[in-house]
A and B are shown apart, each in its own frame.
Chain A
Amino acid sequence: MIERRHIDTLDGARRAQIAAQGNWIFFSGIHPETLDGDIKEQTRSALRRLDTLLAEMGEDQGSIFVVHVWLKDMRYFSAMNAAWNEWADAENPPARTCISGDLYREDLLVELVVTACRTKGE
């Protein structure tokens, strides 16, 4: 059975922030909580939000299968990495892809798309 959590809208588009089935958990594009910060602050904020959503599912960053980082501009790559490295487990970091693309709002600099697994039992 599919479990869906936080059903809301993204700029009017209906979505669930979390959809899970079997061993797999899919997260919507995760955005920073406020968009007034620079790329480092936006990345930190989005990663905090990711931690919160993972914890809600009883998981943590060790449960991540893949993170896709969408950057508004590849010039932010180094600063995004600095915030990422503060967050990522030094011994067991998540697998990641980073590509730049147009994001849905002008002031949104980074978005995380995450697939995780249930690793803590069930």
Chain B
Amino acid sequence: MEIVKLGRVTRPGGPNIALGAGTDELVSVCLTAPDKSGTLAEQTVEILDIIEKHFKTVGTSRAKLLMVQIWLAEMSQFAEFREAWNTWIEGHEPPALSVVTGTTARRDCLVEIRAYAAP
């Protein structure tokens, strides 16, 4: 089975990683928001839109999401996350969803998201 890497990161001084990977059985992408000045809702939607952009390069989309893992810096922002998420996923079958707190790369990362989709 072949693996296609998605979203190669090459920022100087940053980690040498890919944002995601795809095979003919599963696709997955994970990132924090490039614009850390946004509100939690803005960061959430920015991330989800970028994930979907990578999904589209391998022929999938939010309609084929299987599982989404959310790491929130503060669980007190769950309601704000929920509203952004529900708006974004509206009109589609929802995937499995996990929301927990976790600390990500920078203090101004309010959320990090990993999404898995069928190809």
Q: Do A and B bind each other?
A: yes
The contact string, 1 if C-beta is below 8 Å from chain B, for chain A 89-122, is: 0101111111111000000000000000111000
Q: Of B25-33, B45-53, B57-65, B83-91, which stretch is located at the interface?
A: B25-33
B residues 3-45 in Cβ contact with A at 8 Å: 3, 5-6, 8, 14-21, 23, 25-26, 28-30
Contact assessment for B19 and A95 in the assembled complex, using a CB-CB cutoff below 8 Å: yes
Given A92-B5, A98-B105, A100-B103, output 15 extra A-B contacts at Cβ < 8 Å. Answer: A23-B1, A23-B25, A24-B25, A63-B3, A65-B3, A65-B23, A66-B114, A74-B103, A81-B14, A84-B15, A93-B8, A93-B17, A95-B6, A95-B30, A98-B15
Are B5 and A65 interface neighbours, CB within 8 A?
Answer: no
Residue from the list B2, B28, B104 in contact with A98, Cβ < 8 A: B104
Give the residue of B3, B71, B103 whose beta carbon is less than 8 angstroms from that of A62. Answer: B3
Residues of A within 8 A of B18 (CB): 92-96
Nearest B residue (CB) for A99:
B102
| Most-contacted residue by chain A among B5, B15, B19, B29 (CB, 10 A) | B15
Write the chain B residue with the least CB distance to A73. Answer: B103
- Where the two chains meet, the residues of A that have a C-beta atom closer than 8 Å to any C-beta of B are 23-24, 62-66, 74, 77, 81, 84-85, 88, 90, 92-101, 117-119
The secondary structure that dominates the B interface is strand
Q: Which residues of B have CB within 8 Å of A101?
A: 102-103
User: Could you say which residues of chain B place their CB within 8 Å of the CB of A84?
Assistant: 15-17
A119 near B2 (CB under 8 angstroms)? yes
Contact, CB under 8 Å: B6 / A99: no
A84 to B26 CA separation, bound complex (whole angstroms): 25
- Least CB distance from A103 to B in Å reads 13
Name the distance in Å between A86's Cβ and chain B's nearest Cβ.
Answer: 9
Residues of chain B within 8 A of A64, CB atoms compared:
3, 21
